[in-house]
Amino acid sequence: MDSTMPGSGDHSSTNDYFSDISSEMALFGKYEVGKLLGRGAFAKVYQARNLKTGETVAIKTMSKRKVLQGKLMAHVKREIAIMRRLHHPNIVKLFEVLATKTKVYFVMEYAKGGELFSRVTKGRFSEDLCRRYFQQLISAIGFCHSRGIYHRDLKPENLLLDETWNLKVTDFGLGAVSEQARARQDGLLHTLCGT
């Protein structure tokens, strides 16, 4: 996910940033949508608040039209299936998936600390902090592998930090499962890989 953020000097209407959420989001009556957190080729991620619990969440929204045009429906379904199988303290939780005729919404755990990438660009980390992040990453990836799940797009932009600066792996859009390899005669994964 590219974390391009609206510039602080940009005074255009906040509603411009939420045009893809549209009135459909209000129909759910569950979430108050806040600021745009980031965007990629097929998705935008917004901060939101669960109206019932008050909890802050992240909502990844995708246009069904763009997903279908990009022939990515199988990827979206696989990402949902993968995230539903993963419950680990260092992996972003998927709370629910909502859909309308035109959009798909992933309601996920909000990582208040943002992307690890933005923290790395601001300066050096201590050896202890690097060790902590590496241990958390290895724990999360080991957990995935023990369940036959392979991320295939690990990069600092897909590693988030929560409010207590713990690492959270996110974006399983290019993830694969071991069943895919067993289904092929050569035993290899034949899906897209990321960076």
The band of 29, judged by pLDDT with boundaries at 50, 70 and 90, is confident
The band of 173, judged by pLDDT with boundaries at 50, 70 and 90, is confident
pLDDT tops 50 at residue 172: yes
| 153 given a catalytic annotation | yes
The one catalytic residue in 2, 10, 16, 153 is: 153
Give the range of the structural domain holding residue 164, as residue numbers without chain letter: 14-182
Residues 44-92: pLDDT tens digits? 999 999 999 999 999 999 999 988 888 888 889 989 999 999 999 999 9
Residue 141: per-residue pLDDT? 96
CATH number at residue 36: 1.10.510.10
Residue 12: per-residue pLDDT? 41
This prediction's pTM: 0.78
Contacts (Cβ under 8 Å, ≥6 apart) of 109: 57, 58, 92, 93, 94, 95, 162, 168
88, burial (CB in 10 Å: exposed 0-12, middle 13-18, buried 19+): middle
Q: Is residue 145 part of a domain?
A: yes
Q: Is residue 171 part of a domain?
A: yes
Strand, coil or helix: 105? strand
Domain total for the chain?
1
Q: Is residue 161 part of a domain?
A: yes
- How much is the average pLDDT of 6-13? 38
Q: Is residue 84 part of a domain?
A: yes
8, burial (CB in 10 Å: exposed 0-12, middle 13-18, buried 19+): exposed
Residues 87-121: pLDDT tens digits? 999 999 999 999 989 999 999 999 999 999 988 88
Residue 195: per-residue pLDDT? 56
The band of 191, judged by pLDDT with boundaries at 50, 70 and 90, is low
The span from the CA of 119 to the CA of 6, in Å, is 18
- How much is the average pLDDT of 3-32? 50
The band of 9, judged by pLDDT with boundaries at 50, 70 and 90, is very low
Residues 110-157: pLDDT tens digits? 999 999 998 888 888 999 999 999 999 999 999 999 999 999 889 999
Q: Is residue 189 part of a domain?
A: no
SS3 content of the chain, % helix, strand, coil (to 5): 35, 25, 40
Q: Is residue 120 part of a domain?
A: yes
Q: Is residue 193 part of a domain?
A: no
The span from the CA of 165 to the CA of 160, in Å, is 9
Determine if residue 60 is labeled as part of a ligand binding site. Answer: yes
Q: Is residue 102 part of a domain?
A: yes
